[in-house]
Structure 1
């Protein structure tokens, strides 16, 4: 039963990738402050995944 369940690390990595992709897609429409905050969060997510 548990072997079919994706590993938590994989789930978190896939979720973070989708969030980062979405963040990059909308970053062009953000204000400068929101873009800075998004980049800061993206950098933090990369640190967590590495």
Structure 2
């Protein structure tokens, strides 16, 4: 177990994980939820009276 903890592969893996975790928090936009993705679409049905 101590060989795994002192290996270069494990150290590189943890370093990459730490950089990725920091990047996830640092690079996300602060107002991503506040901005709408686009204009809302409204579909209006034509008003027709049924020919009874």
TM-score (structure 2 length as normaliser): 0.44
Answer 1 or 2: higher relative contact order, Cα 8 Å, separation at least 6.
1
Query: Who wins on radius of gyration, i.e. which is larger?
Result: 2
- Structure number with higher helix proportion: 1
